[in-house]
Amino acid sequence: MPLTTKTSDVGKVENVPLRVVVADMLRKAIVNGRMKPGTPIIEMALAEQLNVSRAPVREAIQILENDGLIETVAYKGKRVKPLTAREVEELYSLREQLEAFAIKRVIASGADVSSLQVHCDAMLAAAAADDFDALTDADEGFHRTLVQLADHSLLLVQWETLFLRIRQIMALRNAANGDLKQVAFNHVPIIAALQNKDLDAALEVIGQHSRSAAEINLALFDQ
């Protein structure tokens, strides 16, 4: 009997513009900390490195400027947007408030927080494998899931607005930490407090978590 396949079983072929592919690659390099704040953006060098023409690179750079990850400096060209102490403080103080609000809603609603353990386990596995990118992905996934569990659409919109720069700082902080297992274990008390529905403990640990994550030596990343 001939093998037949329903058309519904066949996946779609993605036709992604090259500028989007290049933008995604550069965005990941920036938010994962491989392209550090202040790094010059040389269009020709990137085109050669990626083996593409300069046009999609130029368009990708414009996308990342719109994201707030790249900036133009008069008479000097483009660079990965530097971090300032004030920006880090503002981002992480706001992040703390957003996540504290999420925690209050999660505990009040009695939401199932088992999905947070999935991301924590992924962080532990990534740390054991010394896979920095996977750990940062799981770290972001943990905090995004916490916000999603709050079931508050406007809160999620605010998180999405900030998450690129938050992830960038998160990655730089994790890299500076050096102990990837500790990064993963830092999330365990958050889950425990939520499972115990202990609001005071949950707010305390999320506050400590946010403030420690914001403790980053910007001098390490000066170009």
What is the average pLDDT value for the chain, to the nearest integer?
86
Residue 69, Cβ density class (10 Å: 0-12 exposed, 13-18 middle, ≥19 buried): buried
H-helix or E-strand containing 40? strand 40-41
Arithmetic mean of pLDDT, 14-22: 84
The pLDDT confidence band at residue 14, using thresholds 50, 70 and 90, is low
Dihedral class, residue 26 (left if φ above 0, else alpha if ψ from -120 to 50, else beta): alpha
The amino acid at residue 37 is: P
Kindly report the pTM of this predicted structure: 0.79
More confident residue, 169 or 177: 169
Q: Please compute, for residue 141, the number of CA atoms within 13 A of its CA located in the half-sphere on the CB side.
A: 16
Confidence of residue 13 (pLDDT cuts 50, 70, 90): very low
Residue 133 has a pLDDT of 86
List the 70-73 sheet strands across, edge first: 40-41, 77-80, 70-73
Q: How much is the average pLDDT of 114-125? A: 95
Residue 184: both structure tokens together:
């993963």
- Quick check: 5 pLDDT over 50? no
The predicted structure's pLDDT at residue 57: 94
State the pLDDT at residue 84. Answer: 85
81 touches 70 (CB < 8 A): yes
The more confidently predicted of residues 56 and 177 is 56
pLDDT value, residue 189: 94
SS3 14: coil
- Predicted local confidence at residue 220, as pLDDT: 56
pLDDT in tens, 92-109: 889 999 999 999 999 999
Residue 16 has pLDDT above 80, yes or no: no
At residue 80, the 3 state secondary structure works out as strand
Nearest CA to 170 out of 142, 204, 128, 149 is that of: 142
Q: What is the pLDDT of residues 32-80, one digit of tens each?
A: 888 988 999 999 999 999 999 999 999 999 999 998 899 999 989 999 9
Confirm if 40 and 77 have CB atoms less than 8 A apart. yes
Provide CB contacts within 8 A for 84, sequence distance 6+.
Answer: 218
Q: Mean pLDDT over residues 155-162, rounded?
A: 90
Domains of the chain, each with CATH number or no CATH: 15-80 (1.10.10.10), 85-221 (1.20.120.530)
CA 87 – CA 95 distance, rounded (Å): 12
